[in-house]
């Protein structure tokens, strides 16, 4: 997907890559930092409380991002039993990732207020980074394991839904992959397209330019 974009719009492809590198790095670093602040030093001891992309980018996930437009970073290790706040601590660590992506979008919106960021390649970089991080924000809030949305929602579900939670934890990754695959089939309306619909309104609300 991104490789194909390089052929037609190389500058846009670079801007989107910058967005993904920054977004994934900041997202995973936010998980690691919040876990460390709440008492779990697992990620800290593995060198994950850093903004160095090498510490957070997954090789296969990066290759898949270039090839098919869908990738991932290294999961941040968290020992929930070490966290202060029990259930709320775990929810806070999970929410830190998507929240960090939203903060990146807000920073882009602030920079876009300055004239030098409203034209040329800087405008394209702002638009690309903001779009990707808005996408990561919305996507990661989907309540399907292993996404953060499930870790935010599931702890608050009643015990009567324990069977549903167990089912989703086992089959959620396959469900998520199926939703992604559906977006590539011509003439098929994937539910993921509707789930990600808030991305453009978020950018518009913040006065950011749209690239798609």
Question: Quick one: pLDDT at residue 190?
Answer: 76
Going from the C-alpha of 78 to that of each of 46, 62, 161, 165, 194, the distances in angstroms are 11, 22, 24, 20, 31
Q: Is position 146 within any domain?
A: yes
Reply yes or no: is the peptide bond before residue 16 cis, omega within 30 of 0.
Answer: no
Alpha carbons 155 and 179: distance in angstroms, whole number: 24
pLDDT by residue for the chain (212 residues), tens only, comes to 666 677 788 888 889 999 999 999 999 999 999 999 999 999 999 999 999 999 999 988 888 777 766 778 999 999 999 999 888 999 999 999 999 999 999 999 999 999 999 999 999 999 999 999 999 999 999 999 999 999 999 999 999 999 999 999 999 999 998 888 888 777 777 788 889 999 999 999 999 999 87
Does residue 211 fall inside a structural domain?
no
Residue entry with tokens 């999961």: 75
DSSP string covering 140-167, please? HTSSSTTSHHHHHHGGGS-GGGHHHHHH
Output the six-digit token pair for 23. Answer: 């977004």
Backbone conformation region of residue 84, classed left if phi is above 0, alpha if psi is from -120 to 50, else beta:
beta
Identify the active-site residue in 7, 28, 46, 119. 28
Please give the pLDDT value at position 73: 92
Residue with tokens 């990661």: 140
Look at residue 1 in the predicted model and tell me its pLDDT: 61
Distance (Å, whole) CA 50 – CA 29:
6
Count of domains forming the chain: 1
**73 φ, ψ (degrees, to nearest 5):** -105, 180
- Crossing angle for the helix pair 86-111 and 10-37, to the nearest 10 degrees: 150
| pLDDT at residue number 3 | 65
Answer yes or no: is 180 within a domain. yes
For residue 65, give the nearest of 12, 22, 20, 18 by alpha carbon.
20
Q: Is residue 119 part of a domain?
A: yes
Whether 28 is catalytic: yes
Q: Is residue 212 part of a domain?
A: no
Residue 31's Cβ-count burial label (10 Å; 0-12, 13-18, 19+) is buried
What is the predicted pLDDT for the residue at 86? 81
Residue range of the domain that includes 184: 2-205
Spatial separation of the C-alpha atoms in residues 50 and 31, rounded to whole Å: 11
pLDDT at 66: 74
Residue 210 within a domain: no
At residue 2, the pLDDT reads 67
Q: Looking at residue 13, what is its pLDDT?
A: 87
Give the 3-state secondary structure of residue 212: coil
Q: What is this structure's pTM?
A: 0.94
Q: Is residue 100 part of a domain?
A: yes
């Amino acid at each position: 997907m991104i490789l194909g974009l390089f052929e037609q719009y190389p500058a846009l492809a670079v801007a989107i890559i910058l967005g993904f590198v920054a977004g994934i790095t900041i997202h995973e670093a936010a998980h690691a930092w919040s876990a460390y602040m709440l008492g779990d030093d697992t990620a800290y001891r593995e060198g994950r409380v850093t903004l160095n992309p090498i510490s957070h980018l997954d090789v296969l996930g990066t290759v898949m991002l270039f090839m098919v437009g869908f990738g991932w970073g290294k999961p941040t290790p968290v020992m929930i039993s070490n966290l202060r706040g029990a259930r709320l601590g775990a929810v806070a660590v999970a929410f830190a990732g998507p929240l960090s992506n939203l903060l990146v979008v807000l920073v882009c919106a602030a920079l876009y207020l300055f004239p030098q960021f409203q034209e040329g390649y800087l405008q394209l970089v702002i638009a690309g980074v903001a779009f990707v991080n808005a996408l990561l924000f919305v996507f990661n809030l989907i309540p399907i394991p292993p996404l953060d949305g499930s870790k935010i929602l599931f702890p608050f579900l009643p015990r009567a839904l324990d069977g549903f939670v167990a089912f989703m934890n086992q089959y959620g990754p396959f469900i998520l992959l199926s939703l992604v695959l559906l977006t590539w089939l011509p003439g098929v309306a994937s539910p993921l397209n509707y789930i990600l619909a808030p991305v453009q309104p978020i950018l518009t609300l913040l006065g950011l330019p749209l690239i798609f």
